[in-house]
Amino acid sequence: MADTATSVSKTAAVNEADAPTEVADVASGGSRRKLESRRKLLNAAQKLFIERGYHETRTQDISREAGVGHGTFYLHFDDKLDCFLAFTEAASNYLEGVLKEPSGQDLPLAESILEIIRRIFTYVGENPGLVAAALLDIDVITTTDSKGRKMLVDQWADSWAEQISNWEERGLVAKNLDKRLVGYMIVGAMKHGGGYAFRDDLDKERVVHEMTRMIVRALQAN
């Protein structure tokens, strides 16, 4: 009887010891599946937003393209705008990094802007359609979602404004500029001018230099 009780006790102890590992394995597997389904949805969203645009893409189209049930979409995103903002996040992070990197090198203004625009053009060339789709016109869609996140065009304008403030502190640009307004003007010029350059297959290096001259003049004008 004692041996039986001891055996049962040992078995229970083993099961209790194993249980957390089993639960962790199940949870880990569930997390992997969730991450995989989110990855599929974001890849599908990127494809459709680039090909069709925001308004012509429906949430059920994204689910179908991703090969998952439509209910799965709402396990990851609140709505189409939430998914769109997740889609633009990668572009936003890259563009913000591009704007910050040259500033740490204390380059002259023209050289710094030239390097920024050159990197952006390289990124756009490597990711055709992505930036154009992500830079949705602010009069077409609400500029913030219910969580207070900004659209890429607003984030990018703010990043330019921050960079212009850094240049102002170094005495490289005119004082008292409306930096955020100038940021939006630069974003608009790059979106439309860059779009024209890529559509008509213009010499990219020439376009980079032309844009650099334009921005430098605007920033240094009194």
Domain with residue 143: its CATH number is: 1.10.357.10
- Considering the chain, what percentage of its residues have pLDDT values greater than 70? 78
Give the per-residue pLDDT at 148. 67
Q: Which of 28-37, 76-85, 87-96 has the highest mean pLDDT?
A: 76-85
160-199 residue pLDDT tens: 999 999 999 999 999 999 999 999 999 999 888 988 998 8
Q: Are residues 193 and 115 in the same domain?
A: yes
Q: How high is the pLDDT of residue 180?
A: 95
Of the ranges 6-10, 19-23, 123-127, which one carries the lowest mean pLDDT score? Answer: 6-10
Whether residues 106 and 187 share a domain: the answer is yes
If one counts the domains in the chain, the total is: 2
CATH of the domain at 60: 1.10.10.60
Q: What is the pTM of this model?
A: 0.74
Residue 98: which of 73, 72, 76, 127 has the closest Cα? 127
Measure CA 207 to chain center.
24
Q: What is the pLDDT of residue 101?
A: 67
**Beta carbons of 161 and 177 less than 8 angstroms apart:** no
pLDDT for the residue 89: 85
The percent of residues above 90 in pLDDT, for the chain, comes to 49
pLDDT at 29 over 70: no
- Model confidence at 5: pLDDT above 50: no
Tell me what pLDDT residue 145 has: 52
Q: Tell me: pLDDT of 102 over 90.
A: no
* Residues 115 and 181 reside in one and the same domain: yes
The distance in angstroms from the start CA to the end CA of the chain is 98
Instruction: Supply the range of the domain harboring residue 28.
Output: 1-77
| Contact indicator for 165, 179 with CB cutoff of 8 Å | yes
Pair 85, 195 in one domain? yes
Opening angle at CA 53, ends 132 and 204, nearest 5? 20
- Checking if the pLDDT of 57 tops 70, the result is yes
Give mean pLDDT, residues 63-86: 93
